[in-house]
Amino acid sequence: MSKTVKALLCTCALAAAAGAVSAQEQVVNLYSARHYSTDEALYTGFTKATGIKINRVDADDAGILARLKAEGAASPADVILLVDAARLYKGEVDGLFQPVKSQVLNDAIPANLRSTPTADGSIAWYGLSTRARVIVYNKIKVEKADVDTYEELGDPKNKGKLCIRSGSHPYNLSLFGAVTEHLGEQKAEAWLKGMVANLARPPKGGDTDQIKAVASGECDIAVTNSYYLARMMRSNKPEDVAVVNKVGVVFPNQESWGTHLNIAGGAVAKHSKNQANAVKFLEYLASPEAQNYFANGNNEWPAAKGVALDNPALKAMTNNKPFKSETIPISAVGANVTKVQQMLDRVGFQ
């Protein structure tokens, strides 16, 4: 059976389940791009605390947004979880979310990690966890000072040293959108052109592949989301330990605007039939209990204010010190993505 057919069957099953729910049974129908087994504890915890059952369909960000458009008002979805700021912004612009008012969420989630408020103060989506876009480097071949800013990824001194995944991948689009917000379009495009000139090989693979490429000597510097490196740091596999021992990590731009953070976040679906339960679920995901699951289960930083971090890999990555992160609104990053895609085409960034 194809993945498409399976996904359609899952959606039909959700719709049927939603229609069959009795007045006494409480549910949340979840479309999730978070494919992390550790998240199961989140769902179990929510149901145990509230009695509300979670019916889940898994897909990637793009697939979820496409499905919501196709289903329209007939969609059974109540809550949408996506793993990229630009995709959350796109869902908002396409009118797929239902802005909500929640003092609990507004108190927990910093303003720069949520959508721009509507005229009546409603919020379309909230960041629920963060991941830093960091630079890893070969500790023997590269001086940390030569890669401690994003700008240096495009500097001629690093010619032939860079590995990176596709420029059009959402994680890179969001990073490039952030840099565009900081530098302006003209300087950002020159920077992207410099990165193309510095490639050790054509863009390919995922973030873990970039880390391994640095360790193997295929390249000397690479870009990755922090949780991929943290996952390897917590691994007991000899091959992962060997990789980690060969690479250093930089949180870029500590002396300027700070390291770029992307988010995983959530929203209430436009045509939710269980709005109150949907908001309750998002509020639960912003609670200290759930935020600790994000941090310890998938090596992400909590998005909510005042949540203590107790993850040994994340602490080691930053030498147990706080790092400076950028404070531009995440929504501005999403708004720059179309410009970035055009720049990538012009400079030949695959």
Q: Splitting the chain (350 residues) into consecutive groups of 10 residues, what average pLDDT does each group show?
A: 43 48 74 87 92 96 97 98 94 97 97 95 97 97 98 98 96 96 98 98 98 98 97 97 98 98 96 98 96 88 88 92 93 93 97
Residues 6 or more apart from 23 whose CB is under 8 A from it?
A: none
What are the tokens at 145?
A: 């000072």
Residue 241: per-residue pLDDT = 97
Residue 17: per-residue pLDDT = 47
- CB-CB contact of 304 with 109 (8 Å): yes
| Strand stretches in the chain, DSSP E | 27-32, 53-58, 79-82, 126-138, 162-163, 221-225, 247-250, 261-268, 301-302
Q: Which residues pair with 132 in a beta bridge?
A: 261
Residue 5: per-residue pLDDT = 37
Integer angstrom CA distances of residue 30 from 44, 57, 136, 184, 261: 14, 6, 35, 38, 25
Can you list the domains of the chain with their CATH numbers? 3-129+263-312 (3.40.190.10), 131-259+325-347 (3.40.190.10)
Residue 272: per-residue pLDDT = 98
Q: State how beta strands 126-138 and 261-268 pair.
A: antiparallel
Residue 24: per-residue pLDDT = 52
Task: Please give the angle made by the CA atoms of 177, 80 and 231, to the nearest 5 degrees.
Answer: 65
- CB-CB contact of 158 with 198 (8 Å): yes
Residue 308: per-residue pLDDT = 79
- 36's torsion region: left (phi>0), alpha (psi -120 to 50) or beta? beta
Query: Tokens 């009795």 — which residue?
Result: 22
User: Coil, strand or helix: which one is 121?
Assistant: coil
Neighbours of 253 (CB within 10 A): 20
Residue 183: per-residue pLDDT = 97
